[in-house]
Structure 1
Amino acid sequence: MAVQNRQRTVHFYQFADVREPAVDPLPWQNWERLLRRLRDLPVPDRTVESGGETFIGAVDPQQTAPHLLLAKVRRDHPQQIDFADGSLSKLQLAADKGLVEVTTVLFLPYGNVLATMGGGMSAPRVSAIQRWFGGMALLREQVELRPVVNAQSRDKLAHAQAVDSLEVRVQPEPYDSPSSLRAASNLGSGMNRIREEFPDMTITLKIEVPKRGRLTPRRRSRGQRHLLDSTAAFARDIGDWLDNTDSVDVAHARAHVEEYGQQSKNEVIDFVSERITAKCQVPLGATDGHHVDIHVALEKLAQASRDRERELRSAVGADI
């Protein structure tokens, strides 16, 4: 019989100093030494309360790879069934036990890059990892986690002179996903309101400056600059959505990009494909939808990191 699998996405992030966004990422950190210290701490000293949620970091002493298990304590109340009489009741746990959602983090040996795999849709995402590190104060710097982006496409938006079109598509979220996504821009807030009103539908936003002939050159230029500003503001929301949901499957803009004083050329800025990620198959028996077996998760993370190593090193300036 064929082995059944669940697909999981591996995301790659790099540590940076949130107070110095324009400078290079942090100096290389000795993660193995830091994780050894963390492993020996009592549970209360590995616990961070943030945004009404509880996160607990752990290190499995049986695993040799430098890793972190970040657990989010569940607030729901699962039901259990008595197979003898069919009665339902709330799952009873001992006072010192709890249910958690787990994300596995693997620290790579270059560029302060880490690879992550969530155990399920509600497992801690990058914002939770960042909040846990901030609460633990393990590093002297106040850190943020930046997605590792393809080196060639990283600066396109920064060098764009105008944008002709923008398209974003969001698919319906699974039932156990968060009910809302944060948005700071006008476009993001508007799209989020529509998505919340129509949660069972695919939402597509497309804005396009009309082609020549319908507008005067002056109005066309004004529209392109306006859409450039709106795209730049929306880009941060898109980045946050890509960090916190798998429902955004299309997000791209068509722009005029100028490089090193040369004449501008038309380029597609693809906010989805520019991120370096990897898909992997996890055996159904290794996950219950809330966590992935630690040995399997680290094996898959290591394999995905090896497969993307050249691209990752290029993106963070850590050439082989």
Structure 2
Amino acid sequence: MPERTIAFFEVVAHASGEQTRVPPMEWDKALSDLSTASVQDRMVDKEVTLVGSVATARGQDHLLLHRVKDDTEWLSMMDWSTGQWQELEQNASRGFVDTSAICFLPFGNVVGIMQGSVSAPSHKRLEDWLNELHLFPDTRLAIRPVLSRAEVERLGTAHGASRIEIKIGNHKASALRGRTGRLASFLRRAHEAYGDINVTMIISVPRGKAREEDRQALLDDLRDIAPVAPGAADRARAKLVYAEADGAERSRLVELTEHHITAKRRVSAVDDDGNSIRILSAVDAILDVAAEHEGELRAAVGADLG
């Protein structure tokens, strides 16, 4: 059984460069409406072609988001008993897709996603698809990683940052859209100037009372990109500075790309009779992990119990 990663995200409103939380949205109604829509009404064709469909499991609807494979991709099938293979060709009435299973949780606009492959739709593709279909026509949506509150609180209680190291891989700079700090601006400008590149940035502020304001400013810029760091950066770490009561400073190294709430689970593809159960298995895994981490997820999005 393959092991898949389950990651959790928060759907928020995005307007004028700002991301704000909104009351719980009517995901059940949106999925119900989607289940009766035509294929064309569920399709977005921009950089890639995305199609949504609805699967029912555990008595509720869930979203399957598919990326249609380009007709130039080489697709083949092999018979393992004979070694014979044949090419698979798309035609006008059929296509091959990579699929992600997506569950909208009943609190805080939290969504759990399991990609069926590395090329299956990510949370950014889900964001594109939701906005292009105008499922919620009065709201422009953004989807950001749900971060562990403990790590976020470490950023909140720090007095400065003495060193940061960030690596942004190609195709990831778009995740910095809407961030207004200097770090995000530097990284965006690098991609605008040189195109599809990998950028590694290291900034270090010397110790000493005279540079205290600079360390505070660096921390402010770090806080600006922290919410999107797990989706934007291949690596993001920082040495945070905390002030002791006696005026002394202590440092702590934090990894900003590793406090996104995720889990790994094995997903069965077929049952004992050889019937496909991968979608049911994926939904079960997402909902089971969501139940295990419900307290942490609720706390992270401000939907605490009671």
Query: TM tier, shorter chain?
Result: 0.7 to 0.9
Question: SS of the residue aligned with 2:66?
Answer: strand
Q: Report the counterpart of residue 200 of structure 1 in structure 2.
A: none
Q: Which amino acid aligns with 1:130?
A: E
Q: What SS is found at the alignment partner of 1:149?
A: coil
> Is the contact between residue 31 and residue 66 of structure 1 (CA under 8 Å) also seen in structure 2?
no
Structure 2: distance between partners of 1:104 and 1:7 = 14
Corresponding residue of 2:162:
164
Who is 1:55 aligned against? 50
In structure 1, the partner of 2:59 is 64
Aligned residue for 1:273? 258
Given that 1:185 and 1:233 are in contact with CA atoms closer than 8 Å, whether structure 2 keeps it comes out as: no
Match of 1:303 in 2: 288
Deviation for aligned residue 1:158 = 5.7
TM-score normalised over the length of structure 1: 0.72
Is the aligned partner of 1:111 residue 2:108?
yes
Following the alignment from structure 1 to structure 2, what is the Cα–Cα distance between the partners of residues 116 and 163?
A: 32
Q: Does residue 17 of the first structure (1) align with residue 8 of the second (2)? A: no
- Residues 81 and 133 of structure 1, relative CA distance in 2, 3 Å threshold: closer
Q: Specify whether residues 189 and 181 from structure 1 end up closer, same or farther in structure 2 by C-alpha distance, changes over 3 A only.
A: farther
Unpaired stretches in structure 1, ≥5 consecutive residues: 174-178, 198-202, 243-247
Task: Name the CA distance, whole Å, in 2 between partners of 1:16 and 1:156.
Answer: 23
- Report the 3-state secondary structure (helix = DSSP H, G, I; strand = E; otherwise coil) of the residue aligned with 1:274: coil
Residue identity matched to 1:295:
L
State the one-letter code of the partner of 2:141. V
- Tell me which amino acid in the other structure corresponds to 1:153: E
Counterpart CA distance in 1 for 2:155 and 2:277 is: 36
* Superposition map of 1:144-223 within 5 A: 144-154=142-152, 156-157=154-155, 160-168=158-166, 180-182=171-173, 185-186=185-186, 207-210=203-206, 217-218=209-210, 220-221=211-212
8 A Cα contact 1:79 1:88, kept in partner: no
**8 Å CA contact retained: 1:66, 1:107:** no
Instruction: Name the SS of the counterpart of 1:18 in structure 2.
Output: strand
What's the % identity of the aligned pairs? 26
Residue 54 to residue 8, structure 1, CA distance change in 2 (3 Å) = same
**C-alpha separation in 1, matches of 2:27 and 2:95:** 28
Q: Shift of the alpha carbon at 1:93?
A: 3.4
Structure 1 partner of 2:181: none
1:241 aligned partner: 232
Q: 2-side partners of 1:121 and 1:82: how far apart?
A: 21
Query: Could you give the per-residue CA deviations for residues 106-130 of structure 1, whole angstroms, max 9, x where no partner exists?
Result: 1111111110000011111111100
Give 1:231 deviation, angstroms.
3.8
Answer yes or no: is 1:224 the counterpart of 2:215: yes
Q: Does 1:73 align with 2:71?
A: no
Asked whether the 8 Å contact 2:163–2:203 carries over to 1, the reply is: yes
**Preserved contact between residue 257 and residue 264 of structure 1 (Cα < 8 Å):** yes
| Structure 1 CA distance for aligned equivalents of residues 223 and 134 of structure 2 | 32
- Partners of 1:210 and 1:20 lie apart in 2 by 35
Matched, 1:102 2:93: no
Cα displacement (A) at 1:30: 2.6
Tell me the equivalent position of 1:130: 127
Q: Is the deviation greater in 271-280 or in 76-85?
A: 76-85
The offset of 1:274, in angstroms, is 2.6
| Equivalent pair of 1:188/1:234 in contact (CA under 8 Å) | no
Distance 2:77 2:291 in 1: 44
Long gaps (5+) in structure 2:
175-183
**Partners of 2:267 and 2:278 within 8 A in 1:** no
What number of residue pairs does the alignment pair up? 284
Compared CA separation, residues 296 and 105, structure 1 to 2 (3 A): same
- Kept after mapping to 2: 8 A contact 1:17/1:142: yes
Give the CA deviation at 1:63.
6.2
**Aligned 8 A contact 1:68 1:105 in 2:** yes
Task: Name the aligned partner's letter for residue 66 of structure 1.
Answer: D
The alpha-carbon distance between structure 1 residues 285 and 251, as it changes in their structure 2 partners (threshold 3 A), is: farther
Pick closer, same or farther for the CA change 1:105–1:182 going to 2, 3 Å: same
